Amino acid sequence: MDDKELKDTLEVHTQSIQGMLDNQLMLAAQVQVLQAALATVLLHHGDRPTLLRTFRGYMKISKESTPQLSRHMEALEGGMLALLGQGTEPDKG
């Protein structure tokens, strides 16, 4: 591989990496907007205990189906559980 081919290959890889970084930032921004919208809806929903139970079920399924991501989901899950009122619902005796 001569210098020109090496420089061209490096340029292609550099552009590809930059594109992936840009996509990652756009996805992160989209997630933040969706989280804010979801939080708004959840905070004003009338039946948060039912939502909490449903959310826990879906999170269990999500973690089981993508175990490689489950550790990363835990902090986000904690925030959502707080919004849904975990620990604030009355005991069911």
Residues 6+ apart with CB under 8 A from 48: 42, 84, 85, 89
DSSP string, 23-80: HHHHHHHHHHHHHHHHHHHHHT-S-HHHHHHHHHHHHHHHHHH-HHHHHHHHHHHHHH
Q: Which of 37-41, 68-72, 89-93 has the lowest mean pLDDT?
A: 89-93
With both helix axes pointing from N to C terminus, report the angle between 67-84 and 3-43 in degrees, rounded to the nearest 10.
30
Amino acid at 28: A
> What's this model's pTM, rounded to 2 decimal places?
0.56
Q: What angle do CA 79, 85, 89 make, to 5 degrees?
A: 150
Q: What is the pLDDT of residues 15-30, one digit of tens each?
A: 999 999 999 999 989 9
Instruction: Output the average pLDDT for the chain.
Output: 85
Extents of the domains making up the chain: 1-44, 46-93
Q: What pLDDT does 87 receive?
A: 59
